[in-house]
Amino acid sequence: MIKIIDGGVCAAKGFLAGGVHCGIRKNRTKKDLSLIFSELPASAAAVYTTNKVKGAPLLVTKKNISDGTARAIVCNSGNANTCNADGVMIAERMCELTAAALGIAPEDVVVASTGVIGQPLDVTPIAAALPSLAAGLSRGGSASAAEGIMTTDTRMKEIAVSFEVGGVSCRLGGIAKGSGMIHPNMATMLVFITTDCAISPKMLKRALSTDIESTFNMVSVDGDTSTNDMVTVLANGAAGNAVIDAEGEDFSAFMAALNTVTVNLCRRIAADGEGATKLLECTVKGAKDEKNAKIIAKSVICSSLVKAAMFGSDANWGRVLCAIGYSGAEVDVCKVGVSFVSRSGEIEVCRSGAGIDFSEELAKKILLEDEITIAVTLGDGEAESTAWGCDLTYDYVKINGDYRT
């Protein structure tokens, strides 16, 4: 049984975390440096952005965890350390400073940065803050770490669950940042996950790589895939279960717990899209296969016209069909049905590819809620998929019009 618990990345045994303002960001009230530490050696796995322009921290992290292990995660906000001539050197220096503060090897550090692209990152404030940050790490530090990785986010994003593997109680938790430049594929945000479940690096990588296909790769805010996106998982085995080194019942239990955390973070990221007022979820059922279901769900969520209609609480279902039509999916449009669903009810607006009579008043009431499901039925098969996004508002342009300045 999977149960939601408190603690974020510190819910699992043997993990400490914290976050501080070190001086990268001008606003002293905002934390800009976070640290997560495993008191035990841990299996490590990560997935990275598909953008060909990759931040230096990703390159260094990929090298550091090539052996499948890590002990710490350090992340700064306010500066992406991307497209800088000395970016790799700075990222490596962050690993060295973190290692010195924690008494571990630099190669055991995952490093990440988020913020403005193309702006040199001065490591001086990071160097000054790391010793005290490391000394102040605690079992209650997940929230501070979550705050320290935020950029344009308006809400902290953390969650944890407890679950059983082979009769042994385990815990898994995560924190995330993501508000703008959010678009499939991989990974479209920064996500740090920790667990005390014992699992081999090989199986941890398999679990993460499998899970993202139906979670983080199904989130879109604005169609821009960032340069610094990464999802990382550390598993230190402190729960004491038999090591998961092959597929089976224990691996399935781990996958279920991981998916519970990642879906929750997906929804939080989508709901906190820059300028967003509504979380949009598109569910597709009856597709020919999963591939086509995913293509359609993504297309609907990514449509600027659909997103704008949802902002205006306008039941313009034709825009949904339009997005399905240009998606490239194999679909019989004469079988398509569309309904809008929220806490205020459900209303069918399209059946067999054509409009039907419906109450505009009820539709408006349903679409005024802050969480809306666009339910698409296809009638082509049994496959289904879900994607998450948000509405497109005036504030998105305001935020990004002067993001750098």
Any residues with CB less than 8 A from the CB of 271 and at least 6 apart, and which? 155, 278, 279, 370, 371, 390
Q: Are the beta carbons of 371 and 267 closer than 8 angstroms? A: no
Task: Tell me the one-letter amino acid at 48.
Answer: Y
Length of the chain, in residues: 405
Tell me: do 216 and 94 sit in the same domain.
Answer: yes
Tell me: do 291 and 236 sit in the same domain.
Answer: no
Tell me: do 46 and 126 sit in the same domain.
Answer: yes
Q: State the DSSP H helix or E strand holding residue 169, giving kind and residue range, or none if neither.
A: strand 168-177
Q: pLDDT tens digits for the chain (405 residues)?
A: 999 999 999 999 999 999 999 999 988 889 999 999 999 999 999 999 877 778 899 999 999 999 999 999 999 999 999 999 999 999 999 999 999 999 999 999 999 999 888 899 999 999 999 999 999 999 999 999 999 999 878 889 999 999 999 999 999 999 999 765 455 554 457 999 999 999 999 999 999 999 999 998 898 876 656 677 899 999 999 999 999 999 999 999 999 999 999 999 999 988 887 778 999 999 999 999 999 999 999 999 999 999 999 999 999 999 999 999 999 999 999 999 999 999 999 999 999 999 999 999 999 999 999 999 999 999 999 999 999 999 888 877 776 777 665
Tell me: do 140 and 241 sit in the same domain.
Answer: yes
pLDDT of residue 273: 76
Tell me: do 32 and 164 sit in the same domain.
Answer: yes
Q: State the DSSP H helix or E strand holding residue 193, giving kind and residue range, or none if neither.
A: strand 190-195
The CATH number for 373's domain is 3.10.20.340
Q: State the DSSP H helix or E strand holding residue 109, giving kind and residue range, or none if neither.
A: strand 109-116
Which of 271, 303, 330 terminates a domain? The answer is 271
Q: Are the beta carbons of 300 and 391 closer than 8 angstroms? A: no
Tell me: do 16 and 58 sit in the same domain.
Answer: yes
Task: Name the catalytic one among 188, 227, 260, 283.
Answer: 188
pLDDT of residue 199: 98
Measured CA to CA, the distance from residue 143 to residue 141 in angstroms comes to 6
Domain count, the chain: 2
Q: What are the DSSP calls for 18-72, one per residue?
A: EEE--SSSS-TTS--EEEEEEEEEEEEEEEE---SS--HHHHHHHHHTTTSEEEE
pLDDT of residue 116: 86
Packed helices 124-135 and 87-102: angle between N→C axes, nearest 10 degrees: 20
**Strand boundaries in 301-382, DSSP class E:** 337-342, 345-351, 354-355, 371-377
Measured CA to CA, the distance from residue 266 to residue 275 in angstroms comes to 17
pLDDT of residue 179: 60
Instruction: Count CB-CB contacts under 10 A for residue 117.
Output: 18
Any residues with CB less than 8 A from the CB of 103 and at least 6 apart, and which? none
Report the Cα–Cα distance between both ends of the chain, in Å, rounded. Answer: 48
DSSP-H helix ranges across 103-248? 124-135, 142-148, 201-211
Tell me: do 104 and 221 sit in the same domain.
Answer: yes
Q: Are the beta carbons of 274 and 396 closer than 8 angstroms? A: yes
Any residues with CB less than 8 A from the CB of 354 and at least 6 apart, and which? none
Label residue 264 left, alpha or beta by phi (over 0 means left) and psi (-120 to 50 means alpha).
Answer: alpha
Q: Are the beta carbons of 38 and 69 closer than 8 angstroms? A: no
Q: How buried is 354 (Cβ within 10 angstroms: 0-12 exposed, 13-18 middle, 19+ buried)?
A: exposed
Tell me: do 326 and 374 sit in the same domain.
Answer: yes
Which of 271, 295, 321 terminates a domain? The answer is 271
Tell me: do 218 and 321 sit in the same domain.
Answer: no
Tell me: do 298 and 152 sit in the same domain.
Answer: no
Which of 226, 253, 271 terminates a domain? The answer is 271
Q: Which two tokens stand for residue 49?
A: 């952005």
Measured CA to CA, the distance from residue 48 to residue 38 in angstroms comes to 22
At residue 189's C-alpha, the angle toward residues 237 and 200, to 5°, is 20
pLDDT of residue 185: 56
pLDDT of residue 228: 76
The CATH number for 110's domain is 3.60.70.12
Label residue 32 left, alpha or beta by phi (over 0 means left) and psi (-120 to 50 means alpha).
Answer: alpha
pTM for this predicted structure:
0.88
Look up tokens 């679409």; give the residue: 367
Tell me: do 239 and 299 sit in the same domain.
Answer: no
Annotated active-site residue 29? The verdict is no
Q: Which domain holds residue 83?
A: 3-271
Tell me: do 251 and 294 sit in the same domain.
Answer: no
Q: Which two tokens stand for residue 5?
A: 């618990």
